[in-house]
Structure 1
Amino acid sequence: MARINPYTIQMQVSRMFQDGQAFFATMKVQDWLKERNEDPAAYDIIFHQKPAPPGAIEAIAIHIELRRRDGQPVDSWLQEEANRHA
């Protein structure tokens, strides 16, 4: 049974970038994809820095962009879930 984490993947990745752990962010997203029964090797994971949403503690938030390597569109629910703030 998977552990329930109250923090979204977007929050965790933003914190990793803030703490200088950006190297591990790709692996974190790959693990997150595995938990959702997706093949991490089927995706390119791209990170974009953006201003954090109003009310956030951090000044910068990391937007996670998923691209399928086979050229098919990424499921919208998966992309939205990757960038959910709370």
Structure 2
Amino acid sequence: MPRINPFTLQMEVTRMFEQGQAFFATLKVQDWLKERNEDPTAYDILFHQKPAPPGSGQVTVVEIELRRKDGQPVDTWLQEEANRHA
């Protein structure tokens, strides 16, 4: 049975950056890809820190960018799910 996590991947990665644990963010995204039956070695994982939307209660938010190493486009649903807010 899958583990239920009330936090989105983006929220967890943003928290890691805030706590100075950015190194572990890549591992978190790789585990997230494995849970979705994707090969994490097939992707380059990039992080972009941006100002948080007004009223969110956060200062910054980290956007996750997935790039396939073979040059093929990343599935739209996968990229959107990685950056889902809530």
TM over 0.5: yes
Identity %: 77
Give unmatched runs, 5+ long, in structure 1. Answer: none
Whole-angstrom CA distance in 2 between matches of 1:85 and 1:31: 19
Task: Report 1:1-86 matches (<5 A).
Answer: 1-86=1-86
**TM-score computed with the length of structure 2 as normaliser:** 0.96
Whole-angstrom CA distance in 2 between matches of 1:82 and 1:65: 8
Superposition misfits of 4+ residues, deviation over 2 angstroms: none
Root-mean-square deviation (CA, aligned residues, Å) is: 0.7
Aligned length: 86
**TM-score computed with the length of structure 1 as normaliser:** 0.96
Give unmatched runs, 5+ long, in structure 2. Answer: none
Query: In the TM superposition, what whole-angstrom CA distance separates every residue of 1:23-79 from its partner, at most 9, and x where no partner exists?
Result: 100000000000000000000000001111232121100000000000000000000
